[in-house]
C-alpha cells in the first residue's frame, strides 16, 4: 500500500542536499553599483577632503563586485548541475536492489520509484521512502519484467 503523505514517510539519514536550493541574493546588482559610483563621483568635492575615494578605489571595487557576481553565477550553475546529476542517478536506481540506512537498521529492497520533495530525491523501497543519501549499497540485481 502506497502512501502519498510525505510526513508519514520513513526517512533514513538526512543528507546535506537540503541546502541545495539557492536562496535569492536580494542584493545589489552591478548596475546598482555603477549608479552609486556615478553619483559618488559627480558629488565629489573638487577641493579634495572627506567623501569619496580615488578612481583606482572605484575601479578596484567594481572589479571585486564583478568577480563576486561571476562566482555567484558559477555557484548557481554548479547547484543546478548537481541537482541534475542527482536526478539522473536516482532514476538509474529504479529496479535495482539497494540497501539503505534507517533509524532501525539497514533495509534492503528493490527501488520501486523515485520522488522529489523540495529538490531532494526520495527512493521508494519496500513501500517506504528514503533519502538518496541513505543508500549505502547498490546491487546488480534488477527486477525481471
**60-102 pLDDT tens trace:** 887 888 898 899 999 999 989 988 998 999 999 999 999 999 8
| Mean per-residue pLDDT, 102-118 | 91
Of 64, 73, 63, 113, the residue nearest 91 (C-alpha):
113
Q: Report whether pLDDT(48) > 60.
A: no
**16-32 pLDDT tens trace:** 344 444 444 566 677 77
- CA–CA gap between residue 84 and residue 80 (Å, rounded): 6
Q: Which residue has the cell 529492497?
A: 109
- Phi first, then psi, for residue 39 (nearest 5°) are -65, -40
pTM strictly above 0.85: no
Q: Report whether pLDDT(45) > 70.
A: no
Amino acid at each position: 500500500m502506497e502512501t502519498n503523505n510525505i510526513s508519514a514517510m520513513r526517512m533514513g539519514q538526512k543528507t546535506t542536499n537540503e541546502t541545495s536550493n539557492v536562496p535569492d541574493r536580494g542584493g545589489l546588482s552591478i548596475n546598482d553599483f555603477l549608479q552609486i559610483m556615478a553619483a559618488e563621483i559627480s558629488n565629489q568635492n573638487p577641493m579634495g577632503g572627506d567623501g569619496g575615494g580615488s578612481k583606482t578605489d572605484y575601479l578596484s571595487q567594481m572589479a571585486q563586485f564583478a568577480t563576486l557576481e561571476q562566482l555567484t553565477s558559477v555557484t548557481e550553475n554548479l547547484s543546478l548541475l548537481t541537482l541534475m546529476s542527482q536526478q539522473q542517478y536516482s532514476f538509474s536506481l529504479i529496479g535495482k536492489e539497494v540497501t539503505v540506512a534507517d533509524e532501525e537498521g539497514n533495509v534492503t529492497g528493490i527501488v520501486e520509484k523515485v520522488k522529489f520533495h523540495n529538490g531532494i530525491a526520495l527512493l521508494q523501497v519496500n513501500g517506504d521512502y528514503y533519502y538518496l543519501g541513505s543508500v549505502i549499497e547498490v546491487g546488480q540485481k534488477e527486477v525481471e519484467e
